[in-house]
Chains A and B, each alone.
Chain A
Amino acid sequence: MRGWLAPHGRGHLWALIVGAWVLSVGVFFLLQVMPPRWRRPMIMLFTFLGGCFYSVEFFLPPNNFLTSYKEGFGNAWVVMGSFAMPLGVLNLSLVHVKKIATRSGSWGGSIVYFTAMAAMVTFCFWQQYWPKSKAGGQGFELLFQYAYMPLGATMFSILAFYIVSAAYRAFRISTAEAGLMAAAAFVVMLGQVPLGMWLTHGIPVESRWAGLRVEQIAHWILAGINMAAVRGVLFGAAVGSLAMALRIWLSLERGAYFDQKV
C-alpha cells in the first residue's frame, strides 16, 4: 500500500494528486449532506483514532509497529496545515470583495490588497518556474526586498512609538505593587543597554560588589524572579492545554460536529 502511494513518474504523481483531491472533496461533501446523527459519531471516531495514533506510538517502546507510519501521518498534517493558507486568502478576499462592491469603509485599501496579491503571486511563480527570465527575478526581488521587507520592518518599528507613548500615559504608580513593578522595569530596562551598564561600570566585574552592577541585578530579576513566575505560568498553561487536548480528542468541545453553533 505504502509502496503504491509513493509516486512513480509524473503521470502517477498527477493521478495521486487528483485522486486525493477528489477523495477529500467527496468526504467533505458527504459530511455536509450526512444527517447529524451519522455525522457526529463519524467525526468522533476519526478524531479519536487520529489522537490515538500519536499517543499510542509515543507511549509504546521506540520503533514499534506504528513508527513507520509516522512520516505519512506527519505529511498528512503538513498538507492539512497548508490548507489553512488558501482558506485564509479566500476569507480575506471575500471581505475585500464585499468592501469594493459596496464602496464601504476604506475600499481603496481593498484594491491595493488585490493589486499587491496579484503582483506578488505573479512574480513569485514567474521566478520559480522560469528562473532564467530576468524580469521575473527582478520583479520578485523588487517586491520582496524593497517592498515587503521594509513594510514589515516599518510595521514593527511603529510599535516603538506606541510603546513609549503608552508607557508615559498609562503607567501610573498608584499602589506599592505598581511602584515595585516600576522599579523592576527600570532596572531591567537599564540592565539591557550599555547606558545602564555605564552607570555602574565603576564597580569592577571581578569584585565582591559586582552583584550590584545594574546588568547583574537585571539578570538576577530575569533569571531568578521572572523565571520562577514564568515557570509557574507555563505549568498552569500546560495543565490547561492537556485538559483542552482531552476535550478535543474525546469530542467534548462544543461545536465539534458541524451541527452546533459555537
Chain B
Amino acid sequence: MFERLQRIDRRAVYIVLFLLMVALLKWPLRLPMVVSSDARGFYEAVERTDPSKLVLVAADWDAGTMAENGTQTEAVLRHLMRLHRRFAIMGFAWPAGPELTDGIARRLAPEYDYEYGRDWVNFGFKPVLSISLMTLVKDIPGFYKKDAKNTPVAELPALEGVRDIHDVSLIAQFTSAATLGSYIAFVWGPFKTPIVHGCTAVIGPQQYPYLDARQIEGLLMGVRGSAEYEALIGRPGGGTEMMPAQSFAHLLIIVLIIVGNIGYLGARGWRQRKAGGAEGA
C-alpha cells in the first residue's frame, strides 16, 4: 500500500489540478485577503508621487508571465490613472513587454479619460538594460528621441518639461527576470529615484535584500501581489479572481507531498522492520 501512495499516476495529478483550476476560476470562493507591508509600501510610494513629474513604468515581462505581471501592471496603471499621473512605458528585457503594457493602458484609458500622448507614452523596447539606463538617466528625450510609433518626443505633451531622471518621481518596474539589480545600481544608487517592484512569485524571495535596504519602496510578488494591490485600490480584478484557484493549487501540492512522504516513510519503516525480523530469526 505504501508503495502505491508513492506512485500515483501523474496524469491523474494533472487532471485533478486542471479540474480544480477550472472550477475555482469559474466559481471563485470568497476568502480573506490580508495585505502585506510590502504591497502597502508600493501603494504608498505611488500615492506620494509628484503630480508635476513623470512616472516610468518599466515593462520587463512577456506574455508568459501575463497572469502575474499583467495583473500587477493593470492594478498599478489604474491607480496612476486615478491619481492623474503622467507615465511613460519602457522595456529592456523582453520586446513584447511595452506593447502588452500599452495594450492594458489603452483598455483602461476611456474609464479615466486618458489620452495617448497627452497623459501617457510608450517608448517601446530597447536592448542592453544597464547601458540603456546609464544613458537614459542623463537625458530621457535624447535617449528615446521618438516613441514606439515613431512620433518625435517633442510632439508628445506627456513629456513636457521632462529632461532627465530628476523629472521622474517614481520607477515602477514589473519583471519576470532578475533585472532589478541594474535599476538599483544605475538609477537608485546615483540619483535616489524611488523604485517599486512587481515580480513573478518565483523570483520574489530574491528581492527582499533590496526591500530591507530600502532600495525599493514596495514589492508585489506574483498573483498575490496583484490581489493585494487590487484590495488597496478597492477594485478587484484578475489577481483577486485567481487567488482561490492558486490557494487550492498550493493546498494540492502540500497534500500530494504529504501523501508521497507517508508512502515513503511507511515503506522505509516496513522494510526496516522486515530486515530486523529477518536478523532476529
Residues of A within 8 A of B (CB): 70-71, 73-75, 77-78, 80-82, 84-85, 131, 144-145, 148-153, 155-157, 160-161, 163-165, 167-169, 171-174, 182, 186, 189-190, 192-198, 201, 205, 213, 215, 219, 222-223, 226-227, 230-231, 234
Contact = CB atoms under 8 A, between A and B. Distances in A.
B253 interface: yes
A55 B190 CA distance: 15
A74 B134 contact: yes
A163 B205 contact: no
Q: Chain B CB within 10 Å — which of A70, A78, A149, A168 has the most?
A: A168
B128 A77 contact: yes
Contacts of B156: none
Minimum-distance CB pairs A-B, first 3? A152-B63, A194-B31, A195-B247
Contacts of B63: 148-153
Contact of B205 (A169, A174, A230): A230
B33 A160 contact: no
Contact of B244 (A78, A81, A194, A215): A194
A75 B248 contact: no
B83 interface: no
Contacts, number: 165
Interface of B: 6, 8, 10, 13-14, 17-18, 21, 31-34, 36-38, 62-67, 96, 99-100, 103, 126-128, 131-132, 134-135, 138-139, 142-143, 149, 201, 204-206, 208-209, 211-212, 221-222, 224, 227, 243-244, 246-254, 256-257, 259-261, 264-265
Q: Chain B CB within 10 Å — which of A80, A193, A219 has the most?
A: A193
B206 A195 contact: no
A231 B38 CA distance: 18
Nearest to B36: A219
B23 to A, nearest CB: 14
Nearest to B264: A172
A84 B126 CA distance: 13
Given A164-B252, A192-B222, A231 B209 contact: yes
A151 B250 CA distance: 24
Contacts of B65: 156
B256 A71 contact: no
Contacts of A234: 209
5 contacts: A71-B135, A71-B143, A151-B63, A164-B252, A197-B34
B85 to A, nearest CB: 27
Contacts of A189: 250, 253-254
Say whether chain A's binding surface is mostly helix, strand, loop, or mixed: helix
B197 to A, nearest CB: 14
Nearest to B12: A165
A219 B39 CA distance: 12
A195 B251 contact: yes
B243 A168 contact: no
B273 to A, nearest CB: 18
Given A164-B17, A169-B10, A227 B128 contact: no
A89 B121 CA distance: 30
Contacts of B209: 227, 230-231, 234
B127 to A, nearest CB: 4
A84 B8 CA distance: 45
A194 B201 CA distance: 15
A194 B66 contact: no
A149 B66 contact: yes
A196 B244 CA distance: 11
Contacts of A156: 64-65, 67
B131 A78 contact: yes
Contacts of A160: 17, 21, 249
Contacts of B126: 78
A258 to B, nearest CB: 23
Contacts of A222: 204-205, 208
Given A163-B253, A173-B264, 6 more contacts: A71-B142, A78-B128, A78-B132, A161-B14, A182-B261, A194-B32
A167 B17 CA distance: 13
B189 to A, nearest CB: 11
Contact of A165 (B13, B64, B67): B13
Contacts of A173: 261, 264-265
A141 to B, nearest CB: 10
Given A74-B134, A223-B212, A148 B17 contact: no
Given A168-B257, A192-B224, A70 B138 contact: yes
Nearest to A231: B209
B5 to A, nearest CB: 10
Given A74-B132, A148-B63, A149-B63, A168 B36 contact: no
A74 B259 contact: no
Nearest to A171: B257
Given A165-B14, A223-B211, A223-B212, A201 B64 contact: no
